[in-house]
Amino acid sequence: MFDPPESMHVEFERALGVVRGRLGADHPLYINGLNVWGAGFIEKTSPIRHELIGRFSAAGRAELEAAVTAAARAHSAWRGLEVSARVALMHRVAQLIEERVYLIAAALCLEVGKNRLEALAETQETADFFKIYADEFQASGGFDRPLPDDPLPNVRSRNRSVLKSHGVWAVVAPFNFPLALAGGPTAAALVTGNTVVLKGASDAPWATRLLADCIADAGVPPGVFNLLWGQGSEVGAALCQHPNIAGLTFTGSYEVGMSLCRHMVSGAYVRPCIAEMGGKNACIVTESADLDQAVPGIIRSAFGLGGQKCSALSRLYVEASVMDKLAQRLIQAMQALAIGDPTQRQHWLGPLISERAVAKYESFIQQLHAGGAQIVSGGSRLVTGELAKGCYVAPTLAAAAATHPLMSVEMFAPILMMSAVPDVEHGVALANDTPLGLTAGIYGSASDVAYFLEHIEAGTLYVNRQLGATTGAWPGYQAFTGWKGSGSTNKGIGSFYYLSQYLREQSQTVIE
């Protein structure tokens, strides 16, 4: 993706033309293998220039009940399928996503404001989730493993450990990776024998409708996968609180995630809740750092997708001796960023997701000033030319005290706060001074790195990485996990340990 062939751009342009011809259509929910219309619609406009993407049917209580009921009825037959049959269906879903990769990516560009390479990467990542999780489940033998027989005379005692599905699994996806963070948990839940009700992001519903089309066209039986849209405070909350939901995967804020975790343990028995709850991610730059590696890694992590990533770099702790030099190089790199319509090849950075997000950005800029921070670069909405038609803001670098109130706030905006530290030990201490612990990075010497790896409190770490200081996990290459308040299970997406979270163990002893 950092050196794409020309053919990739040609195919994307062709797909973009096709997708533009589909703008403005009405899109139904997907329940029990059927397209279903709710009582109203969510109108989705593009953040690029506020053109209508489409109208997406909004679920009410009746549609929610129908989806959960369909998933519950389908569970017994779905979990009873041979492992090889479920694996084959997941591979077919992956194949269809790959066949439609350019069309789906073009829709992501228009809907979310991703640039074409990020959109293509997310689409391929989603296909990879379906393939990797299916292959891992098959390689594990479906988590059905023999244990030693009891050492009893004159008795044959057969023992097994079997992991079995829970039932109806709810997936609640965010807007920033509306395909991958819907598709990944869905793939894991389905291949392990659960049925799924997915609540897609209201700010990015088209992605999940395209995912539903791939799942349906792959031949996944009716009721096994169901798709709803609606406001998170209404449909999302009702889905997660439904008594027939056996497990839940949520990606979003710490506050909502913790509330859901508490709910899932508060019933008659504890139900699994896999919550990825954001980050306040830090990077440390020491005087030994190679700035040729550090500068592009910092820029990509802080400002990619407008900082609207849970893994985005938000806090930068720099040894005082290199502070000014690094700041100047960052300013130069920021000023060179191509900002504009992300469907156009030359633009690296597109808009924020909505006018609501722009308003939050402007509020954070005011709070930076109020707290005594110095805006080194950026700090305003972009309103020249075509940019005035969309949700564009300037990437922002602010020099601030480590005690500034926003040092503890996940902003989800292209704002990077920078503070001077005397040494790597102080940098690590400040990086750890947060209830969150998703990603972290460092640029420095071998001794700096050794200290960082031993003492940092985060789940996903990057060292001297030019491709991203705190971002960029890829299925099959990096696990992506959070510590502390960033994750409820401390098991990573795409890791060796992820699938078993969707299963419960049963010990079987049979006397022959």
- Both tokens of 187, joined, read 């793939």
Tokens coding 172: 């609640």
- One of 214, 310, 319, 391 is an active-site residue; which one? 310
Give the integer Cα–Cα distance in Å for 382 and 258: 35
Residues 6+ apart with CB under 8 A from 41: 26, 55, 56, 57, 58
Q: Provide the β-strand partners of residue 57.
A: 41
**For 28, phi and psi rounded to 5 degrees?**
-85, 165
Active-site residue identified among 136, 276, 319, 410: 276
Token pair listed for 3: 């050196």
Query: Is 130 in contact with 187 (CB distance < 8 Å)?
Result: yes
Q: Is 310 noted as a catalytic residue in this protein?
A: yes
In whole angstroms, give the CA distance from residue 160 to residue 170: 29
CA-to-CA distance for 412 and 426, rounded, in angstroms?
A: 25
Cα–Cα distance for residue pair 402/275, rounded to 1 Å? 28
CB neighbours of 26 closer than 8 A, spacing ≥ 6?
41, 54, 55, 56, 57
- 325: which residues sit within 8 A by CB, 6+ positions away? 291
- Provide the phi-psi class of 212: left if phi over 0, else alpha when psi is between -120 and 50, else beta: alpha
Nearest-angstrom CA–CA distance, 467 and 295: 10
End-to-end CA distance of the chain: 57
Q: Catalytic annotation on 261? A: no
Task: Go through the chain and tell me how many residues it has.
Answer: 512
Active site residues: 276, 310
